[in-house]
Structure 1
Amino acid sequence: MKAWTRFRLACLLTILGILVLPNNGFGYEINDKLSIGGIIAGIGQYQSISDAPGFENEGRGLILLEPEISFTPTDNDELFAKFGFGAGNGLDGEGRSPFVIAPWGGNVQDDYKNINGRNRDYLLTAWYKHTFNFSEDHSLGLTGGIIDATDYMDENAFANDEYTQFMNGALVNGPNAFLPSYDIGAAIEWGLGGLSVKGVAMAMGTNGEEGEFDEPYNFYGMQFAYTVDFGLGEGNYRLIVDTTSSDFSNVASTKKERLTCAMISFDQQLGEILGGWIRFGWQDDKAAVDCKSIYSGGLNISGNLWGRACDNIGIGYAHLIGGNLDVDHTDVFEIYSRFALNDIFAATGDVQYMKDSMKAGDSPDGWIFGLRLTAEF
């Protein structure tokens, strides 16, 4: 059966499942131990660009299906697996977008094949977790398997989910934080009241370089976080530090170096209507890197303002300072409006402005107009 036929069949079966499930979304419990969930997303983006020879004003789209299954044999144990299927690469396809940062910050069709050079298709994560509960607000969780570092680090209440929040990669996670996904690793999560510490270690199959410079590497990261309520609403304040083994080429390709980054990611509710967030990060540039530092932030406007609590508007801006390659700096502005049709279906209109100011040559800039339709089940 061809991949496209399999994908259409998977989408059809999932949509039929959604239609017959109770209209509460966000997972369906088959019994008290087994549940299924996931998301179907359709994304379309049109770019109107200038100063970008070889690239066109054009629109592209993609459809993604990411189902997941969870089995909890006890209150302290969980087995989890997540899969990914796609049709189309959108503007992320080769030769489609002139920008260093992708206007769509999520997965595309090609990301589901030969994941991290492991000759593994479609299986994104598969892990086992055991949680030790010492008291009502004191716990320790240990996870091992195929994991995603972004599930544990660089979280943000208003700028962390490409399916429900910002679409541009610069506003989903810090691009200079090099957080890897979908490979072998382990995670530890400790929480005591409002304080939490998370650690991740992963063995990655590829460093993303070409030819003889392509090789596996190790990733290590930690996040320290504190959650507090100042009276206006909940706030989360995080410090992320991460590094890798010395398996990344320097600019001259004469030596292997490690990647190292420090980042803060804050979000704060400001009453029932407004929320604010920032994400600042700084990366070492001994290895060849596109982005050395990022300064980003924005606002979230709740649908409570117009009587629809599940709707929201997001406004975000990111200024990225280039590393030791071609980019001097990048500016990204994005505004989106998300309309929740019900607990499952949502539609989002999105507008982005991007500009890559290069150290030499053309400096592409332009507008990207997007539409995102999602079904979370």
Structure 2
Amino acid sequence: MHSNAQQLRSALAIALISLCGGAARAYDVNEQLSINLLLAGAGQCQEVTGGGDEQNGCRGAVPVRPEIFFNPTKQDQFFVKFGFAAGNGLNPVSPFALSPWAADLEADVRNINGRDRSYLLEAWYAHTFRFSDTNEVQVTGGIIDPAFYVNENAYANDEYTQFMNEAFVNSRNAFLPAYDVGGALVWKIDRLTLSGLGMNVGENDDGNNFNWFGVEADYNLQTPWGEGNYRVMYVGTSRAFLAPAAGLDPEPNPDLDPALDLDSAEEPDPTDKEHLSGLLLSFDQEFGKIVGAFLRLGWQREDALVDYQADYSGGFDFKGAGWGRENDNIGIGYAYLEGGSGELARTNAVEGYYRLAFNDTLALTADVQYMKDKYRTGDVIDGWVFSLRAVAEF
């Protein structure tokens, strides 16, 4: 416990010194070239029941993301993003199925997707064809991140300024890969945006190369309450994911089945591969100047071995203008995930945070998470994660 606490203090100290020291600055070289920097530091402590007392403790991490934009013309853009990090936080020691912080940490920025490439996250070129003020098509190619184009949400989409738990950053059933070779086509027609993406990913958790695609329709709606965004998305992959072990029910009932004997199930056959596919809905809506709400619903097939076959999450955002702090906000979210073809029966996750903005650059967030994983064997793991996150964007 002492060493964990020491790591936590060190991570936060490095982050706060860097954030407040003023060493980093945004730099606009000229009208075409600019450099941005995101610097974050977070400490997390967990108290877990059912996962072993040795997993209780504190860990920290400090991710850094420099970005370079080059716009030679109004229709052309080159973009490069790097990712560096010290530490992995609680993610590698957490007994929960969901990651407590869905950021790009030390393990995530090394040997990305088995490509033997580290630290370079994105590198792409985009060209925009403008037909009118309300009709344009953008084509992008290179090393891309699909989360930039699809499955967005105004209140639950940014692990650095909003929720930390992966259930509230992107839909778990979107199985979005990141930082690999692909292309995107985005067509904006007035308030409607149509997006299509394709990628080839170096390897998945099973060590297999696979292709991924996603399509989404996004409609921006102006209502008397305020702005809203309503999205429907479909995603899929090639056959590169392990099929469930023989003997497991491919459609488990959320209520535990005491007659199910997982010990007698055969091991998955590594030569038996299936594809992933899923349907997702994502909504966010303002309700006046103070309150906003979000809702995500996602379902995926269980032909392959998947943790969750259904993912339902939602919550509220409260702007600080309601109590005289214009740039502060409070976020509250709840997620229910129904087990898929693996051993998980269900997961419940709750998260709340207060983000205190000191200025346009620096913000400090206090965050609390509660998670509960229930397995089809009857085992239960639940507990709390307490976090403090500092983020500066230059």
Question: After TM superposition, is the score higher than 0.5?
Answer: yes
Q: Secondary structure at the match of 1:109?
A: coil
After the TM superposition, which residues 334-353 of structure 1 pair with which residues of structure 2 at under 5 Å, given as runs?
Answer: 334-353=351-370
Q: Distance in 2 between matches of 1:138 and 1:290?
A: 40
Instruction: Specify every segment of 5 or more residues in structure 1 that has no aligned partner in the other structure, as ranges.
Output: 1-9, 22-26
Distance apart, 1:158 and its partner CA: 0.1
What is the aligned partner in structure 1 of residue 137 from structure 2?
Answer: 140
Q: Secondary structure at the match of 1:179?
A: coil
What is the aligned partner in structure 2 of residue 7 from structure 1?
Answer: none
Q: Distance in 2 between matches of 1:269 and 1:137?
A: 23
Change in CA separation of 1:239 and 1:337 when aligned onto 2, cut-off 3 Å:
same
Q: Distance in 2 between matches of 1:17 and 1:192?
A: 45
Q: Which amino acid aligns with 1:306?
A: W
What is the aligned partner in structure 1 of residue 50 from structure 2?
Answer: 51
Q: Which moved more, 1:33-42 or 1:360-369?
A: 360-369
What is the aligned partner in structure 2 of residue 355 from structure 1?
Answer: 372
What is the aligned partner in structure 2 of residue 73 from structure 1?
Answer: 72
Q: Which amino acid aligns with 1:149?
A: P
Q: Which moved more, 1:228-237 or 1:27-36?
A: 27-36
After the TM superposition, which residues 1-377 of structure 1 pair with which residues of structure 2 at under 5 Å, given as runs?
Answer: 21=25, 28-53=27-52, 55-93=54-92, 96-209=93-206, 214-252=207-245, 253-254=268-269, 255-377=272-394
What is the aligned partner in structure 2 of residue 24 from structure 1?
Answer: none
Q: Distance in 1 between matches of 2:184 and 2:296?
A: 23
Q: Secondary structure at the match of 2:322?
A: helix
Change in CA separation of 1:157 and 1:286 when aligned onto 2, cut-off 3 Å:
same
Q: Which amino acid aligns with 1:338?
A: R
Q: Which amino acid aligns with 1:245?
A: S
Distance apart, 1:14 and its partner CA: 8.0
Q: Secondary structure at the match of 1:90?
A: coil
Change in CA separation of 1:16 and 1:302 when aligned onto 2, cut-off 3 Å:
closer
* CA RMSD, Structure 1 to Structure 2 (Å): 1.9
Q: Secondary structure at the match of 1:335?
A: strand
How far does the alpha carbon of each residue in 1:196-236 deviate from its partner, in whole angstroms, 9 at most, with x for none?
10111000000111xxxx21000010110100111111000
| Contact 1:55/1:98, CA 8 A, preserved across alignment | no
Distance apart, 1:308 and its partner CA: 1.8
| Contact 2:235/2:279, CA 8 A, preserved across alignment | yes
Q: Which moved more, 1:39-48 or 1:27-36?
A: 27-36
What is the aligned partner in structure 1 of residue 11 from structure 2?
Answer: none
Distance apart, 1:29 and its partner CA: 2.0
How far does the alpha carbon of each residue in 1:13-45 deviate from its partner, in whole angstroms, 9 at most, with x for none?
986995574xxxxx5422100001121000111
| Contact 1:11/1:65, CA 8 A, preserved across alignment | no
Q: Distance in 2 between matches of 1:170 and 1:38?
A: 26
Change in CA separation of 1:30 and 1:330 when aligned onto 2, cut-off 3 Å:
same
Q: Distance in 1 between matches of 2:84 and 2:136?
A: 34
Q: Secondary structure at the match of 2:321?
A: helix
Q: Distance in 2 between matches of 1:29 and 1:11?
A: 24
Q: Distance in 1 between matches of 2:16 and 2:362?
A: 16
| Contact 2:15/2:40, CA 8 A, preserved across alignment | no
Q: Which moved more, 1:341-350 or 1:53-62?
A: 53-62
Q: Distance in 1 between matches of 2:20 and 2:165?
A: 30
Q: Distance in 2 between matches of 1:71 and 1:165?
A: 28
Distance apart, 1:362 and its partner CA: 2.6
TM-score by length of 2: 0.88
How far does the alpha carbon of each residue in 1:338-369 deviate from its partner, in whole angstroms, 9 at most, with x for none?
01111100000000100001111531100110
Q: Distance in 2 between matches of 1:114 and 1:303?
A: 40
| Contact 1:52/1:362, CA 8 A, preserved across alignment | no
| Contact 2:142/2:182, CA 8 A, preserved across alignment | yes
Q: Secondary structure at the match of 2:196?
A: strand
Q: Which moved more, 1:365-374 or 1:300-309?
A: 300-309
Q: Distance in 2 between matches of 1:13 and 1:131?
A: 41
TM-score by length of 1: 0.92
| Contact 1:55/1:97, CA 8 A, preserved across alignment | no
| Contact 2:202/2:208, CA 8 A, preserved across alignment | yes
How far does the alpha carbon of each residue in 1:227-281 deviate from its partner, in whole angstroms, 9 at most, with x for none?
0111111000000100000111101333211100000000001100000000000
